[in-house]
Amino acid sequence: MAAYEAQFDATIAADQRIEPRDWMPEAYRATLIRQIAQHAHSEIIGMQPEGNWILRAPSLRRKAILLAKVQDEAGHGMYLYAAAETLGVDREELTEKLIASKQKYSSIFNYPALSYADIGVIGWLVDGAAICNQVPLCRCSYGPYARAMIRICKEESFHQRQGYELLMRMMRGTDAQREMVQESTDRFWWPSLMMFGPPDGDSPNSQQSMAWGIKRHTNDELRQRFVDMTVPQAAALGITLPDPGLAWNAERGAHDYTPPDWAEFEAVIAGSGPCNAQRIAHRRRAHEDGAWVREAATAYAEKRAAPSGGGAPISGSRPGAAP
């Protein structure tokens, strides 16, 4: 055991990747399972606020974009469940924990999307914050998670840009449209800041995660980076961020800003956000409504696998020669 542990420590110290079949401390495995599952659940639950607007998209172009984006969120959830499974959990088990509220997802998705401007602001601020969080995870010490994040980050860039473009278009529209964008920004600014998690002093797991190379930056470092990146983007849009305390601090070379209401954050995490119950109920219903499809697919596969089952051969050809 000591030899295994020494090898694990040496791999981490050399900034190399831990791979699924390597020995790892149980706490490392448990931390990763919790984090990756929570991340996967966030992608899956994150389809809901936006999916709600697909049928009400203002044009075919916007509808196609929103569909592709929501489909990506599903894909990201699947990449992450696949990564979690390399740690010895089953994705169905994870889904069951989600709908039993035994595992969490990002607090941001407990806020509703109330107007089409929200679709733009979610892309700009929420996906922007997610990118800030996720880019360093591409160098996470656990190989499968890092590889999933590389794939996700490539796709996430489209999410943010389509949101920003949507907002630019609305800002060139009518006064009413500009007001919608401002109102939406006012609602999403604070929850977006909360996406980085509690302040460093209140984030007990951060230090160990950083020692293990799972996290590369603290919550407050990433939050600061997000604020600094967002300020010029807001200016280019002609939007006012709803923080009177926001100001450039030349001494620090960064913006000072007002922290979000951490009591609200705690309450939303604890289940009292505007949409917590609705999100879980919807996910549970989707899972249960899909049960007959899964059963039918299993029965069909078994029938075709049976010796006299007949049925068409699979459409893909076998690889044949060895790679």
Partner 1 sequence: MSELAGDPVAVSEPAGEPSAQRRRWALYEVFVRGKRGLNHVHVGSLHAADAEMALHNARDLYTRRNEGVSIWVVRADDITASSPAEKDPFFAPAGDKVYRHPTFYAIPEDVPYL
- Which residues contribute to the site for partner 1 (CB under 8 A)? 19-23, 68, 71-72, 75, 78-79, 82-83, 85-93, 96, 143-144, 147-148, 151, 155, 294-295, 297-298, 300-301, 304-305, 314-316, 319, 323
Q: Are 255 and 227 in contact (CB under 8 A)?
A: yes
Least separation in angstroms between residue 297's CB and partner 1 is 4
Q: Which of 272, 251, 258 is nearest to 224 (CA)?
A: 258
The residue (of 21 and 61) whose beta carbon lies closer to partner 1 is 21
Question: In the structure encoding, which two tokens stand for residue 188, read together?
Answer: 């999403």
Residue 100: phi and psi, rounded to 5, are -95, 10
Least separation in angstroms between residue 148's CB and partner 1 is 7
Least separation in angstroms between residue 1's CB and partner 1 is 12
The residue (of 86 and 177) whose beta carbon lies closer to partner 1 is 86
The helix-helix angle for 291-305 and 276-289 (nearest 10°) equals 30
Least separation in angstroms between residue 155's CB and partner 1 is 8
The residue (of 160 and 218) whose beta carbon lies closer to partner 1 is 160
The residue (of 151 and 216) whose beta carbon lies closer to partner 1 is 151
Least separation in angstroms between residue 80's CB and partner 1 is 10
User: In b/e form, how buried is each residue of 68-94, taking b as 16+ CB within 10 angstroms?
Assistant: ebbebbeebbebbbebbbbbebebeeb
The residue (of 201 and 307) whose beta carbon lies closer to partner 1 is 307
